[in-house]
Amino acid sequence: MQADDVVQWLKQNPEFFDDFADDIAQIFVPHNHGGHAVSLAERQLLTLRDRNRQLEGRLSELLQFGVENDSISDKLHQLTVDLMKANDLASIIGTLEFHLKERFTVPFMALRLWLPAGDCNLMEFSPVGEAIHRLAENLVSPYCGPYVTDEVLDWFEIGAGELKSFAQFALKTGEVPFGILVMASPDSERFYPDMGTLYLQRLSELVSAAVRRVTTTHAES
C-alpha cells in the first residue's frame, strides 16, 4: 500500500479518527523545527498555525498592493488632468517629464516622435533609425528590463553604464506607432521583466492621446 492510498482511504473513512481516537492520541510524529516528537493533534495545530501565518502574510501583501495601486491611480489621474491643460507639444513633454520625475520617481525619460505634423525644432523629433521603427512596431505591450539598443542609450544625457533598468513602450494611433517613450533608472530593480505593466499600458495610451490631440490641432490650424 502506498502513502497516497492511505490518505485516500482516510478521506473516505473519516469515522476512523473517532473510532480509534485513543490509539491516535498515542501516536507521536517528528516536529519539523523542534527536533522532538509531538502528538498528531499537536502537529495538526502547529500546521494550522503555520498556514495562518502564511495567510496573514499574504493578506498583508495584498493590502500593501492595494495601497500602492491607489497611489499610482491618483498620480496617473493628476497627470491626466495636467496633460489635458497642455495646449502644445512642448507643454505636454514638460508636463510628462515633471510628473515622471517628481511624482513617479523616474529620473530619466527619452521620447522620440515621427509625426508628419511635428515641430522639427524639438529634440523629440530627431531622426531615428529603421531599427527604432521596427522596435516600436514590435512593442505590443510595454517592455521592462535591463536592455535597450545602443541608439536608445544615446538619447540619455548620462553615461550608459549608469542606467540599469528601462521601461519602454510605443505611442500609437490605433495599431500604427508614431513614437516611442523610454524611461530609465540607475536602480536595477526599478523596472524588471516580471513586473506588472497595466499602468504602463495606460500611460502609453494616455501619452499617445495627448500627443495626437495637440499635433492634430496644429495640423488643422
- Which pLDDT band, with edges at 50, 70 and 90, does 30 fall under? low
Question: Same domain, yes or no, for 60 and 91?
Answer: no
Residue 77 within any structural domain of the chain: no
Residue 78 within any structural domain of the chain: no
Residue 210 within any structural domain of the chain: yes
Domain of 45 in residue numbering reads as 1-71
Residue 98 within any structural domain of the chain: yes
Upper half-sphere CA count for residue 150 (Cβ side, 13 Å): 0
E strand segments, 66-164:
108-113, 143-145
What value does the mean pLDDT of the chain take?
Answer: 84
175-220 pLDDT tens trace = 999 999 999 999 999 999 999 899 999 999 999 999 999 887 554 5
> What is the per-residue pLDDT for 27?
63
Question: Same domain, yes or no, for 135 and 181?
Answer: yes
Task: Give me the mean pLDDT over the 149-158 stretch.
Answer: 93
Q: For residues 182 and 158, what is the distance between their CA atoms, to the nearest angstrom?
A: 14
Encode burial over 87-108: b for 16+ CB neighbours within 10 A, e otherwise.
eebeebbebbeebbeebbebbb
CA angle centred on 110, ends 83 and 158, rounded to 5°: 135
Task: Give me the mean pLDDT over the 150-168 stretch.
Answer: 92
CATH at 119? 3.30.450.40
Q: Determine what percent of the chain is predicted with pLDDT higher than 90.
A: 57
Total number of domains constituting the chain: 2
Question: Same domain, yes or no, for 216 and 125?
Answer: yes
Residue 197 within any structural domain of the chain: yes
Residue 159 within any structural domain of the chain: yes
